Amino acid sequence: MKIAVTGSIATDHLMHFPGRFAEQLLPDQLHKVSLSFLVDDLVVRRGGIGANIAFGMAQLGLRPVLVGAVGSDFGDYRSWLERHGVDCHSVHVSEIAHTARFVCTTDEDMCQVASFYAGAMAEARNIELTPVAERLSGLDLVIISPNDPEAMIRHTEECRAQGYPFAADPSQQLARMSGDDVRGLIEGAAYLLTNEYEKGLLESKTGLSDAAVLDRVGVRVTTLGKHGVRVTGRDIEPVLVPAAREVQAYDPTGVGDAFRAGFFAGLLWGLSLERSAQVGSVLATLVLETVGTQEYTVLAEEFVKRLADSYGDDAAGEVRPHLCMP
């Protein structure tokens, strides 16, 4: 299976605010917000949406190819990813900029305030997918996750021109892209992934109804937070998968990335949309229960047990052979 994951590669600076953002925001003063939060924790972790998705797929035994742009400070991070099964041969290294940086503060309600410095990510627009496909003798799927907006557009257009199946995952970049650009990102996508808020924002920006969006994509996946995930499509019955059981939530950063990794791993294994969403949901809980987006390890026996606990023995039985278990 030949999978290219395009997207951001970044360092995450994750902080915790021991309170609630909502209690600090004055409704009649939102037009001139000026706030500073004293945090009680700071951890620095490897991140970036593209890298997170690739890491998650590698944890499940796949060998994804990461496609993105980084700075010369990427050496240790590269070693980490390659050691965990991610192909980094198609990562572009900038000669002038640092690797992107994500700075995020999470409160007691798991609400977040964050900012993102692009840095070398802006050079992702210079990357072509065709050399990647030639190196791998083809591509079964290209995941186009949040990245430099021009890179996302370029990769989408190249997928359509070359006939590479692709998944559109615009998420955070919806806020800064025009309606025309967003329509260009989703047209012809085999899969479209957003959370529930982004679903509404996408429809508002493009002027497209839910039905009109489905006319342009194969399958639409909408994550619903604690309420699970909804999968719809033109020729399929809607599927609603509840969230997997969690032990204790620590930090939601990267949960959506892990879901995508598990979902696409399931599809590439040949599982149904429902079963793939269940795999994604269990992988997402592993991230939710840790601080950092790549600080978890998939242990096959434990993973299958958690699938059974959340979705039944049939689900566990179907996934078990793909995790190299007897």
β-strand pairing of 10-16 with 41-47: antiparallel
Is there a contact between 234 and 267 (Cβ–Cβ < 8 Å)? Answer: no
The number of beta carbons lying within 10 Å of the beta carbon of residue 74 is 22
CB 135 within 8 Å of CB 100: no
Q: Taking a C-beta distance cutoff of 8 angstroms, is the pair 288, 251 a contact?
A: yes
Residue 108 Ramachandran class (φ > 0 left, ψ -120 to 50 alpha, else beta) = alpha
Catalytic residue (one of 180, 210, 257, 309) = 257
**CA terminus-to-terminus distance, the chain:** 22
Residues forming a β-bridge with 92: 69
Does 41 qualify as catalytic in the annotation? no
Which candidate, 147, 150, 234, places its Cα nearest to that of 191? 234
- Whether the CA torsion 113, 149, 49, 309 is positive or negative: it is positive
Closest CA to 168 of 152, 148, 149: 152
The residues assigned a catalytic role are: 257
